[in-house]
């Protein structure tokens, strides 16, 4: 350990050392004046050839947190995020809440002064006294949208506190934690004591007796179904769910609330996204990492018993959660699915189950044929109108991405079902849906690309969501850190979801009578792809079906050569 005693700002060394010990690959920072001690520590380490997490200098809080989210979706380990004081925390709070909903671990920190220039040592600056500090501290602000929130008490306890924060972030249910680190602590002398490296959590297991009982319920069920939102988020969960479903011949539903790809959409056992048909037909529903399966929550299945497979089924950050559980398996989800799959091998051959699987395969093939017919119809319709049918856009993407091991990050709203159904991702870690408020999609996609540089990353996004994103800071990060994306905008020139709600609530109201639909029109916006031109990115605007595939091919070629490409597609609905 280098001698840091009596060095002003040695608390910055303590924090960087703690981030290194917790295993952070990156420090995602949206700059603030309190982080000078951290910058000095990093500069010294770089000069002296010492190890440190890689520092990313980002120009917007949503970009910093969103990139940490995207990276964490694949790395599944907590990264470090530095924001500026309470205002920076508030600016990034939407993305922090999105990380909580997505179950992504990270350690978020910001700062404030506690002496306001009246204490000994370096002057923290008058900005804290005048307009940055908040009553109760920023850790009070962060509590509702983080898993844990606290304040560091001193430089000597700081390393161990960061370790505790990282361990809390990683354990189920994984999520972001927050630590307020007063500037005076970062400027304190430090005695060099370091944090113990963070180790992975120990695994939890459902007992054999509990797994046996659930296996018996499955054997007795005539019409079981699996419903999952985030099985694929767990390490090995995607593969374990496939093995479990195949072993027992059980169809899998991924509802609209699914956070990621959990099961191959090309698989004959994939039963789409609608749980509705199963509410009256299923006699056993297996909720696998499914936080909110029924809507409205009171909509209880008519005859099905419900088994919940989830390490922490009751999510403390969800305000209202109804599962109707008859039985819980609360061990590690991947391990539990493997246990249940093993128990299927003792099951004697079942002619009815085999016939059911054959029927489901035929149904899957029929749905595929129907999709192709709908695509052809969409193309014919689009040829007679301005724009391209969204189904045709998604299907064209699917064809062009085939065999490329691509990852799709989705921030569409009214087109999300189209993207999921027709892009049809089939591999682990190949699809993620952005959680929480709109405006994070580009940052999350950048973080995914940071974690998987060798794979093409495609962001599908609506024009409304696109305008919420911090475009300039996002494009700057893409260029600065060599993270080329393919961004495909589904541009219908309207906030469609808002318009649909207005029409649903007031079908015969004044707006329907006069055509004055407020809060929804986006036709006045300029060409969305043009915002990328000052950054030297590849841009295309497409409004004809026959031009779509060539434009996307050119865009993918640009991405492969290291340039972000933005394709603004004018869609018909």
Task: Indicate if the pLDDT at residue 344 is higher than 80.
Answer: yes
Quick: pLDDT tens for 287-343.
999 999 999 999 999 999 999 999 999 998 889 999 999 999 999 999 999 999 999
**Residues 212-220: contacts with CB within 8 Å, 24+ apart?**
212/343, 213/327, 214/307, 214/327, 214/329, 214/340, 215/340, 215/343, 215/344, 217/284, 217/305, 217/307, 217/327, 218/248, 218/250, 218/284, 218/286, 218/340, 218/344, 219/347, 220/284
- Residue 4 has a pLDDT of 45
Other Cβ atoms closer than 10 A to 326: 13
Task: Indicate if the pLDDT at residue 106 is higher than 70.
Answer: yes
> Residue 353 — very low, low, confident or very high, per pLDDT cuts 50/70/90?
low
Asked if 552 and 526 count as a contact pair (C-beta separation under 8 A), the reply is no
- Residue 152 has a pLDDT of 95
| 200 SS3 class | coil
Closest CA to 227 of 177, 302, 283, 292: 292
Asked if 158 and 185 count as a contact pair (C-beta separation under 8 A), the reply is yes
Quick: pLDDT tens for 119-141.
888 888 888 888 888 888 999 99
Quick: pLDDT tens for 429-482.
999 999 999 999 999 999 999 999 999 999 999 999 999 999 999 999 999 999
Q: What DSSP designation does 132 have? A: I
> Residue 110 — very low, low, confident or very high, per pLDDT cuts 50/70/90?
very high
| Mean pLDDT, the chain, whole residue set | 91
| 114 SS3 class | coil
Closest CA to 13 of 151, 184, 192, 160: 192
Between CA 181 and CA 381 the distance in angstroms is 59
Quick: pLDDT tens for 465-479.
999 999 999 999 999
Closest CA to 58 of 88, 37, 86: 88
Task: Indicate if the pLDDT at residue 382 is higher than 60.
Answer: no
Instruction: Report H helices in 276-322.
Output: 278-281
- Residue 82 has a pLDDT of 98
Other Cβ atoms closer than 10 A to 349: 6
Quick: pLDDT tens for 54-68.
999 999 999 999 999
| 369 SS3 class | helix
| Whole-Å CA distances, 413 to 243, 434, 466, 492 | 31, 10, 11, 12
Task: Indicate if the pLDDT at residue 7 is higher than 60.
Answer: no
Between CA 205 and CA 207 the distance in angstroms is 6
> Residue 374 — very low, low, confident or very high, per pLDDT cuts 50/70/90?
low
Q: Which of 155-169, 196-210, 370-384, 411-425 has the lowest mean pLDDT?
A: 370-384
> Residue 376 — very low, low, confident or very high, per pLDDT cuts 50/70/90?
low
**What angle separates helix 390-401 from helix 351-383, to the nearest 10 degrees?**
120
Domains of the chain in sequence order? 9-190 (3.40.50.970), 208-365 (3.40.50.1220), 385-570 (3.40.50.970)
Q: What is the four-CA torsion angle of 515, 518, 519, 520, rounded to 10 degrees?
A: 10
What would the mean pLDDT of 348-355 be, rounded to a whole number? 60
- Residue 1 has a pLDDT of 40
């Amino acid at each position: 350990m280098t001698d840091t005693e009596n060095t002003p700002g040695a608390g910055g060394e303590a924090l960087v050392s703690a981030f290194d010990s917790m295993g952070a690959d990156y420090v995602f920072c949206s700059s603030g004046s309190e982080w000078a001690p951290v910058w000095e520590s990093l500069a010294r380490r770089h000069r002296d050839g010492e190890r440190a997490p890689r520092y990313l200098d980002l120009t917007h809080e949503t970009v910093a947190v969103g990139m940490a989210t995207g990276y964490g979706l694949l790395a599944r380990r907590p990264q470090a995020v530095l924001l500026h004081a309470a205002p920076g925390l508030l600016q990034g709070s939407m993305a922090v809440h999105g990380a909580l909903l997505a179950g992504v671990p990270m350690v978020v920190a910001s700062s404030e002064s506690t002496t306001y220039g009246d204490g000994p040592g370096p002057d923290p600056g008058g900005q804290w006294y005048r307009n940055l500090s908040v009553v109760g501290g920023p850790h009070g602000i962060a509590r509702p949208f983080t898993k844990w929130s606290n304040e560091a008490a001193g430089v000597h306890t700081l390393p161990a506190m960061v370790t505790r924060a990282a361990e809390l972030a990683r354990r189920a249910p994984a999520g972001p934690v927050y630590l307020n680190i007063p500037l005076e602590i970062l400027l304190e002398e430090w005695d060099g004591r370091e944090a113990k490296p963070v180790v992975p959590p120990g695994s939890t297991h459902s007992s054999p007796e509990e797994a046996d009982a659930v296996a018996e319920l499955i054997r007795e069920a005539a019409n079981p179904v699996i419903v999952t939102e985030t099985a694929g988020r767990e390490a090995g969960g995607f593969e374990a769910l496939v093995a479990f479903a195949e072993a027992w011949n059980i169809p899998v539903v991924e509802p609209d609330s699914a956070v990621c790809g959990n099961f191959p959409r090309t698989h004959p056992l994939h039963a789409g996204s609608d749980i509705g048909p199963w509410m009256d037909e299923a006699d056993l529903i297996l909720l696998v990492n499914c936080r909110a399966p029924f809507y409205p929550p009171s909509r209880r299945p008519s005859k099905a018993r419900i088994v919940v497979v989830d390490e922490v089924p009751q999510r403390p950050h969800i305000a209202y959660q109804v599962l109707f559980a008859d039985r819980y398996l609360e061990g590690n989800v991947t391990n539990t699915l493997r246990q249940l799959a093993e128990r299927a091998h003792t099951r004697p051959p079942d002619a009815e189950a085999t016939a059911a699987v054959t029927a489901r395969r035929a149904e899957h093939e029929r749905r595929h044929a129907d999709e192709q017919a709908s695509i052809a119809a969409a193309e014919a319709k689009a040829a007679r109108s301005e724009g391209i049918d969204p189904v045709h856009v998604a299907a064209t993407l699917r064809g062009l991405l085939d065999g490329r091991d691509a990852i799709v990050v989705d921030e569409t709203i009214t087109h999300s079902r189209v993207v999921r159904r027709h892009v049809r991702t089939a591999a682990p870690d190949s699809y993620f849906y952005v959680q929480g408020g709109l405006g994070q999609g580009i940052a999350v996609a950048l973080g995914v690309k940071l974690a998987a540089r060798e794979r093409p990353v495609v962001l599908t996004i609506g024009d409304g969501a696109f305008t919420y994103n911090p475009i300039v800071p996002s494009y700057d990060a893409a260029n600065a850190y060599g993270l080329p994306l393919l961004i495909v905008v589904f541009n219908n020139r309207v906030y469609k979801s808002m318009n649909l709600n207005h029409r649903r609530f007031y079908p015969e109201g004044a707006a329907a009578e006069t055509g004055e639909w407020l809060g929804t029109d986006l036709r006045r916006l300029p060409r969305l792809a043009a915002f990328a031109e000052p950054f030297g990115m590849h841009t295309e605007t497409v409004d004809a079906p026959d031009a779509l595939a060539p434009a996307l091919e050119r865009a993918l070629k640009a991405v492969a050569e290291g340039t972000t490409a933005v394709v603004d597609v004018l869609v018909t609905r």
